[in-house]
Amino acid sequence: MHCSRSWVEISAHALRHNYTQLLRAARGVHLAPVVKANAYGHGLVPVAQLLDADPTVPFLSVAFLSEALELRAHGIATPIMVMSFCDAPLAEAAGHDIHFFVSNEQQVREIASVGAALGTIFDLHLKIDTGLSRFGTTMGDAVSLAQFIASREYLRLAGVCTHFSYAQAADQTSAREQTHQFGRALADITNAGLACTWQHCANSAAALFSRPPGNLVRVGAALYGMWPSSVVRDRAEQEGLMLKPVMQWKAAIAELRIVPAGRAVGYERTFVTKRPTRLAMVPVGYADGYDVRFSNAMHVLIGAKATPVVGRVAMNVMLVDVTDVPEATVGAQLILWQATDDFLASAARVGITNPRELPTRIDVRIPRIVVP
């Protein structure tokens, strides 16, 4: 058993399975796994190391330059796309095969200036706002900004991209409109005599559902076994595509005690025992990322038995009713979290409807351990 208070196990088999399933869904289009936000809580470096070993992965995608530099510091060689912000000196990215998404002329000028000073070429992906209204240049400015990039000596227009706002919906109206806008922008850029290697707009949901144009798909939630929506899951499963949860967050029982019937348990007296109750203390709380909303609402798994969390989840400890689980002994392992349909449905009932929220909340100090 691992000696930490709790630990996260990352299944190498499940990650490879999901990647293969998504590659099949994309029908031969390249996949760029998204490993931002500590690989959706799964562990930036261990997940990237697993993916780096696969020669079919053309890019890893991160949000920040600091994440890309951390990967390079750990020997990750796969090209990296920085999709959001440069939170470290641009010069540190020089010569490291790190690509940047850009949305405006100021960004382009800054990168061109660093490239000229260092005598190195930076690869840029022009992002176009087709409806998310977040990052991206306007449709009207797309061609002129692409031309501006192509005119700079130390810049290369490596890609054109956009991002969907609601590709996981049953109603695909907005996704179709964004796809149409992206197609128009690509045509305009091509007609202006410009070329780029990569065109990408699809995320996990789009790859599994609508399959829009492009030769690269950025896959995030689905790579980790989390369906973007039940609609996407149902469509994919009709085609025989199955995902496996990559993560299991585990802990060990630290102490056991028996309390009588009628005893309040935990802060604020939110649970009162109805019978003599055997309680297991688990050294995990909301400071570790186990949501306080799970109080009196969720289960953990001990073996195959779903065992209720009782009382209010505290900062560093939670209580589990193990009265009917004789195998629950001090040191016994339990599973706190995994991306199964049952668990995510239970989480949704307490107001957590975005499955990506849960793993990213697990404290980064908790060890991530790769298992076969």
Catalytic residue among 19, 36, 40, 286: 36
- Give the C-alpha distances (Å, rounded to integers) separating 145 from 51, 97, 324, 338: 33, 22, 65, 44
Closest Cα to residue 186, out of 226, 241, 126? 126
Closest Cα to residue 333, out of 254, 246, 245? 254
Closest Cα to residue 202, out of 235, 168, 225? 168
Per-state percent for the chain, helix, strand, coil, to nearest 5: 35, 25, 40
**Residue 286 catalytic?**
no
The residues with which 272 forms a beta bridge, in sequence order, are: 264
The residues with which 125 forms a beta bridge, in sequence order, are: 101, 159
Instruction: For the chain, state the CA radius of gyration.
Output: 23
The residues with which 318 forms a beta bridge, in sequence order, are: 282
In angstroms, rounded to a whole number, what is the distance separating the alpha carbons of residues 137 and 256?
Answer: 58
Altogether, the residues listed in the chain come to a count of 372
Q: What does the block give as tokens for 248?
A: 């299991």
Per DSSP (E only), the strands in the chain are 6-11, 30-33, 60-64, 80-85, 98-102, 122-127, 155-161, 198-202, 216-219, 247-252, 255-259, 264-265, 271-272, 277-282, 299-302, 305-310, 318-321, 333-338, 368-371
Helix (H) or strand (E) holding 128, with range, is none
Closest Cα to residue 340, out of 245, 206, 207, 214? 245
SS3 assignment, position 279: strand
8 A C-beta contact, residue 7 and residue 337: no
**Residue 36 catalytic?**
yes
Catalytic residue among 244, 250, 267, 290: 267
φ, ψ of residue 143 to 5 degrees: the values are -65, -45
Supply the residues annotated as catalytic: 36, 267
